[in-house]
Chain A
Amino acid sequence: MDLNDTPQQAEYRAKVRSWLEEHKHEAPVLQGEGAIEDEHEAVEAHRAWQRKLAEAGLTGVTWPTEYGGQGLGPLEQVIVNQEISRAGVPGILDAIGVGMLGPTIIAHGTEEQKQRYLAAMLHGDEVWCQLFSEPAAGSDLAGIQSRAKPQDDGSWVLNGQKVWTTNAQFASFGLLLARTDPDVPKHKGLTMFIVPMDAEGVTVRGLRQITGDAEFNEVFFDDVALDPDLVVGPVNGGWGTALTTLMFERLTIGGGGEGMGYRADRFARALASDPAAVRDPEVRKRFGELATDLLALRFTGYRILTALQRGQIPGPEAGMGKVTVVNAAVAAGDLIADVIGPDAFSLDDEWNYLISFLPGLKSAGGTEEILRNTVGERVLGLPPEPRLDKGIPFSELRDKEREAAGASA
Chain B
Amino acid sequence: MKLHAFSLCLFACTACAFEIDDFLDQLDTALTISAFQDNLRARLSGTLDLEIYHFEQPAPGLIDSKIDTLFNPRLTLFLDTQIGSQIYFFAHSQLDRGFDPSDHGAQVRLDEYALRITPWEDGRFTFQAGKFATVVGNWVQRHLSWDNPFINAPLVYENVTAIRDKYAPYSPADFIYGPYYAQKYAFNPVIWGPSYANGFSISGKLGQFDYAIEMKNASLSSRPESWLITENGFENPTFSSRVGFRPNEAWNFGFSASEGPYFRREAEPTLPPGRNIDDYREFVLGQDASFAWHHLQVWAEFYEARFQVPNVGDADTFAYYIEAKYKFTPQVFGAVRWNQQLFGTINDGFGHNDQWSPNLGRIDIAATYRFTPHVQLKLQYDYQHETTGEGEDNHLVAAQFTIRF
The answer to whether A and B assemble together is: no
What is B's interface to A at a CB cutoff of 8 Å?
A: none
A interface residues with partner B (beta carbon < 8 Å): none
